[in-house]
Amino acid sequence: MNIIVCIKQVPNTTEIKINPTTGTLIRDGVASIMNPDDKGGLEEALKLKDKYNAHVTAITMGLPQAEDILREALAMGADKAILVTDRKLGGADTLATSNTLAAVLSQLKFDIIITGRQAIDGDTAQVGPQIAEHLDLPQVTYLENLEYDGEKTFTIKKSTEDGYQIIEVDAPCLVTVLASANKARYMSVRGIVEAYDKEIEIWGFDKIGIDESKVGLKGSPTRVHKAFTRGVKAAGEMFEVDAEEAAGIIMSKLKEKYII
């Protein structure tokens, strides 16, 4: 069985802070990490590898430094790593990104493509289903658990707002995985050592063989018109008083505002 896992390098957004006086982002010193949902997806693939001796390829599109998360994937147990990188691919929105990745994936062998549900920098949850559409694959999103019958059928537990669904789908297919589906394994010492000897395959624009109008900024139907921080709201009244008095202040404020 061949599994391809799509992963993304993202800034650790939980570490980003806003300067309270200027309202601007403080991004200095914020580390880059493997997107958490993608890591959950990689773990799902590695579980299948443990059980069915599957071959796992990790693929990412990004800047050259995205190699770091591919090394991490190799150290966790992936067999092969592909870095899709080219200046021509820059400025891509989700559709252009999915066009690019689908063009690469269509040249590879796979039974299942696994992506994370969404990346913490954009939170769009779009690239997985868009790849599935380009490759004419059935998709299952919000995967919580995956079982394989060893031949061709996957049984999936999909998380929904009000419960879950049990879904069957045959290979080839694409699934998007929640970080909470798995506790990702740590890199092994041997894995780390070996990961640095393994070659990472680089795919540039020419190797992908895709029309330039479908990638990068040119291939993106959506454009950022402007970006801004939320700004700083004027703080309301503040009191530092004992509990009894505080309760009184709250009660009178609620009455004043007709809330009670």
Residues 133-162 that bind another protein (CB under 8 A): 133-134, 136, 138-142, 155, 159-162
By CB under 8 A, residue 235 contacts another protein: yes
Size of the site for another protein (CB under 8 A): 79
By CB under 8 A, residue 217 contacts another protein: no
By CB under 8 A, residue 128 contacts another protein: yes
Nearer to another protein, 31 or 224 (CB): 224
Q: Are 16 and 25 in contact (CB under 8 A)?
A: yes
By CB under 8 A, residue 106 contacts another protein: no
By CB under 8 A, residue 57 contacts another protein: no
Nearer to another protein, 36 or 191 (CB): 36
Say how far apart CA 83 and CA 138 lie, in whole Å: 25
User: Do you find a cis peptide bond into 20, omega within 30 degrees of 0?
Assistant: no
- Name the minimum Å distance from CB 116 to another protein: 13
Say how far apart CA 57 and CA 201 lie, in whole Å: 11
By CB under 8 A, residue 165 contacts another protein: yes
Say how far apart CA 213 and CA 50 lie, in whole Å: 41
Of 41-49, 107-115, 192-200, 225-233, which segment contacts another protein by CB under 8 A?
225-233
Give which of 212, 223, 230 is closest to 19, Cα–Cα: 230
* Long-range CB contacts for residues 104-109, cutoff 8 Å, separation at least 24: 104/59, 104/203, 104/208, 105/4, 105/59, 105/131, 105/135, 106/134, 106/135, 108/2, 108/4, 108/57, 109/2
- Name the minimum Å distance from CB 184 to another protein: 16
By CB under 8 A, residue 13 contacts another protein: yes
Nearer to another protein, 190 or 223 (CB): 223
Give which of 138, 154, 132, 174 is closest to 51, Cα–Cα: 154
Residue of the chain from 35, 57, 85, 98 that contacts another protein (CB under 8 A): 98
Neighbours of 124 (CB within 10 A): 13
Say how far apart CA 212 and CA 90 lie, in whole Å: 12
Say how far apart CA 116 and CA 130 lie, in whole Å: 13
Residue of the chain from 53, 150, 199, 233 that contacts another protein (CB under 8 A): 233
Of 103-111, 123-131, 181-189, 194-202, which segment contacts another protein by CB under 8 A?
123-131
By CB under 8 A, residue 93 contacts another protein: yes
By CB under 8 A, residue 44 contacts another protein: no
Q: Per CB under 8 A, which of residues 171..200 are in contact with another protein?
A: 173
By CB under 8 A, residue 31 contacts another protein: no
Give which of 75, 58, 49 is closest to 8, Cα–Cα: 58
